[in-house]
Amino acid sequence: MNSKIRFFRGAVLIFLAAVLVCGCTGKPKPIRQSELALGTVCSVSLFDSKEQALLPAAFSLISQLENKISKNIPDSEISALNRSAGVSPVVLSKPVFQLLTMAHKFSILSEGMFDVTIDPVVELWGIGTDHASVPAPERLSHAVSLVDYSRVVLDSAHSSAFLPEKGLAVDLGGIAKGYIADQVRDFLVSGGSSGGIIDLGGNILTFGKKPDGSDFRIGIQDPFGGRGSSIGVVTMAEGSLVTSGIYERFFEQDGKKYHHIFDVRTGYPVDNSLAGVSIVTKESAAGDALSTAVFALGLEKGMTLVEGTEGVEAIFITKDKEVYISSGLKESFNLTDRNFAMRGGF
């Protein structure tokens, strides 16, 4: 067996001219802090150096939320919930119950293509670990039988959740970074920040206004190129852009690549015409969940979901280097790489 694991972080790029790269010629001056968190490099950039004190507190909030939400932390609330499957409900803190409820909502919206109970399949494949491998069919079939978001019992009166069968398990990895980005933005705004950028491993959230008053320009990663290469640029005011693609996390076994976005019906990585999907929303949690769901649905069904959901736009990149955009991005997306071709809508 020949296995190779590769990680590709930072699915989007931010083009801010001199604002963050070289600083402003006048005042205020931008500041930035980066740390390892959530399994990736996280950065928070603020446009005014007078807001310096907010940065350590923002990363403290990220750490606090990760410690509650991550299934990889043994004493997290989600770990406790998964251990209690088939035994008893678990009372959750307000942010964790809120996030789990949100994840359940997007599971319903996507008809299960984003499923908060995907964890048995994720654990079996082990992508992102040193033991990633293709599972035995019988074990995979059993794992798929445990994926069913409708079986999660949420009790808002007691802020509790219950997994009624042993083996059921929740994985919030498909929405957690977006949710945390939203919480950090709210914290920074309440603390008086005039604006900035939150980048949680490629989950981008912008807020406020740049010092020169212009919109943000966010580059869309070339799924076939090296890190830092882009196929086009989205111009947008404050909001979120999240990308899912087959190039982000994968491993190779016997000459074949297996990526981390799973088809909940089969337990195998999604196999369709798409190489990447970028979702533009106001709230990053929505973009995070929908980037997975829309990718799994494929081009036509994914576009239908996007066009039918208020406040959601998308950029689709196919394996044939074709680019499709939702109707709301016609004036704000600019394709810059001539190796890719713009196509019409549906």
Q: Is the peptide bond before 89 cis (omega within 30 degrees of 0)?
A: no
- The three-state secondary structure class of 295 is helix
pLDDT along the chain (346 residues), means of 10: 36 42 57 95 96 97 98 97 98 98 96 96 94 97 98 98 98 97 98 97 93 93 85 96 89 94 96 97 97 96 96 98 97 96 78
Sequence-distant (≥ 6) Cβ neighbours of residue 146 within 8 angstroms: 117, 120, 165, 167, 168, 169
- The three-state secondary structure class of 315 is strand
Q: Which tokens is 295 given?
A: 């990718």
Beta strands per DSSP E along 139-262: 153-155, 160-162, 195-200, 203-208, 216-221, 230-236, 239-245, 249-253, 256-259
Answer whether 29's CB lies under 8 Å from 49's CB.
yes
The closest of 239, 206, 240, 186 to 61, measured between CA atoms, is 186
Instruction: In whole angstroms, give the CA distance from residue 225 to residue 84.
Output: 44
Instruction: In whole angstroms, give the CA distance from residue 12 to residue 17.
Output: 16
pLDDT of residue 229: 87
Instruction: In whole angstroms, give the CA distance from residue 178 to residue 244.
Output: 12
pLDDT of residue 72: 94
pLDDT of residue 6: 34
The answer to whether the predicted template modeling score (pTM) of the entire model surpasses 0.85 is yes
Q: Which residue has the tokens 């195998």?
A: 268
Instruction: In whole angstroms, give the CA distance from residue 116 to residue 173.
Output: 9
Fold of 68-162: T-fold (1.10.3980)
Q: Alpha helix (H) ranges present in 110-147?
A: 119-125, 137-145
Instruction: In whole angstroms, give the CA distance from residue 31 to residue 54.
Output: 11
pLDDT of residue 20: 41
Side-chain-side CA neighbours of 72 within 13 Å: the count stands at 12
pLDDT of residue 21: 35
Instruction: In whole angstroms, give the CA distance from residue 69 to residue 39.
Output: 13
Instruction: In whole angstroms, give the CA distance from residue 316 to residue 27.
Output: 39
Instruction: In whole angstroms, give the CA distance from residue 293 to residue 111.
Output: 9
Instruction: In whole angstroms, give the CA distance from residue 44 to residue 251.
Output: 30
Answer whether 245's CB lies under 8 Å from 273's CB.
no
Burial class of residue 282 in the structure, from the number of CB atoms within 10 Å of its CB (0-12 exposed, 13-18 middle, 19+ buried): middle
The closest of 342, 341, 276 to 314, measured between CA atoms, is 276
Residues linked to residue 162 through DSSP beta bridges, in sequence order: 153
Handedness of CA 87, 91, 95, 97 (dihedral sign): positive
Torsion angle of C-alpha atoms 17, 21, 25, 27, degrees rounded to 10: 110
Burial class of residue 103 in the structure, from the number of CB atoms within 10 Å of its CB (0-12 exposed, 13-18 middle, 19+ buried): buried
